Amino acid sequence: MDIEFHYYISFMLAQRAGFNDADAEIMAYSNQYVDDNTRHYYVNYKDGGHYISEVSQTMDISKPSQKRQTIYPLFHFIPAFPDEVPEERVMEPYAHSFNTAPNSRNAQKLLRLAMASENPYLMGVATHAYADTWSHQSFVGLKHPFNRKPGVSGSIIPNICHADFLHDPDTVGLQWADPRLRHSRIDNNERFMEAAECIFKAYGEHNKMPEDRLDDEWKTLKQLLSAATKRETFEDEPPSPYPTGVEPAQGRKNAYLDICPGIPNYDKKRWWAEAIHELEYEDDIFDRFWAKEDFASSHWFKFQEAVKQHRGNALNMFADLYRTLNLPTNWTA
């Protein structure tokens, strides 16, 4: 999924499920920042010492280092148990131990651990991984022929995650084809609406929302989201022309703001800029970044700690699975 679901829709889900606006923003920002947290920082303290950040995504999914490839199954492609994966494939290989399945038990467990922590940063990170089990189903978070799209040369796109399919699995409102599967026609809105319902109900149950109220709230929100996600464009994307000549619908972002006017704009540099002072003309990467005052209480620091905690939770779950492919379980960024 992309920013449209991870930030805007996720903010609505959190707020409507009983979280206050401040926590809803932290959860939604953390959720989206998992994708934007692509750089490793060495941050100096004025009184000595340093802080090393962690990455949760790579700058270029088609050219990750071998070490950083191992983050994909932890944050974006949670491996499922074999009995959770439908027998849909029509081409070899027919199975893979790292295959992703929607709403898998492993993803549910990671979300429960985050919810139990009462840490909104960790909740956002875990929600990202959980939501992606819908958009990334039938892919593995590794470089492997399992991900290959027929007709796409591995020398051009190296079968990493869903790179062969570009952004198709992540885009709201898109219908596309996955020829690897028996039922090849994919409607992203169907997948995403199911994900939204599961996230909303997990949030509502955490906040002890009565079951009848939770069901009623979801019915109302589902109607609003269904209408919004059918709008033609998101934000400033150029609209697709209507064959009948009818004017294109209002952008989906505006529709989300109509549903939930309090959604703040997302700026991926905001948390970082609040926490870190950069010496722009310093060439030495180990002397370039310095912690501002109250660094340890900043959003950016708390997010980084949540990334490390989620990574630890996931590695504890998948250590044996990682060893089957000789993947490291004790690495840092």
Chunked mean pLDDT (size 10), the chain, 333 residues = 95 98 98 96 94 89 66 97 91 93 98 99 99 98 93 74 93 93 95 99 98 97 94 60 38 89 94 94 85 97 99 96 86 52
Q: Cα dihedral sign for 217, 219, 222, 228?
A: negative
Per-residue pLDDT, 35: 96
Distance CA 151, CA 166 (A): 14
Give Cβ neighbours of residue 188 (< 8 Å, ≥ 6 apart).
135, 169, 170, 171, 172, 173, 174, 175, 176
φ, ψ (nearest 5 deg) of residue 186: -115, 130
* Token pair of 175 as six digits: 């219908």
Place of tokens 């998992």: 34
Task: State residue 11's pLDDT score.
Answer: 98
Is 137 contained in some domain? yes
Task: Please report whether residue 333 resides in a domain.
Answer: no
- Token couple for 48: 């000595």
Number of domains composing the chain: 1
Decide if 165 is inside a domain.
yes
Residue 330, in any domain of the structure: no
Note whether residue 283 is domain-resident: yes
Under DSSP, is residue 147 helix (H, G, I), strand (E, B) or coil? Answer: helix
Apex 43 CA angle, 39 and 311, nearest 5: 50
For residue 291, which phi and psi values (nearest 5 degrees)?
A: -75, 135
Measured distance CA(273)–CA(288) in Å, rounded = 14
The pLDDT of residue 67: 64
Query: Residue 252: in which H helix or E strand, if any?
Result: helix 252-259
pLDDT at res. 280: 82
Is 274 within 8 Å of 39 (Cβ atoms)? no
Structure tokens at 277: 């002072």
Parent domain of 83: 3-324
User: What was the pLDDT predicted at 236?
Assistant: 58
Pair of tokens at residue 304: 């980084």
Q: CA angle, 219 as apex, 216 and 215 as ends, to 5°?
A: 40
Tokens of 43: 């941050």
Examine residue 329 and state whether it is found in any structural domain, yes or no.
no
Cα 193 from Cα 135, distance rounded (Å)? 11
**332 within domain boundaries:** no
**For residue 329, what pLDDT is reported?**
79
pLDDT computed for residue 270 by the predictor: 98
pLDDT at 37: 97
Per-residue pLDDT, 154: 59
pLDDT for 286 equals 82
Would 243 be classed as within a structural domain? Answer: yes
Residue 22 has phi, psi (to 5 degrees) of: -65, -45
* Pairing label, strands 289-291, 42-44: parallel
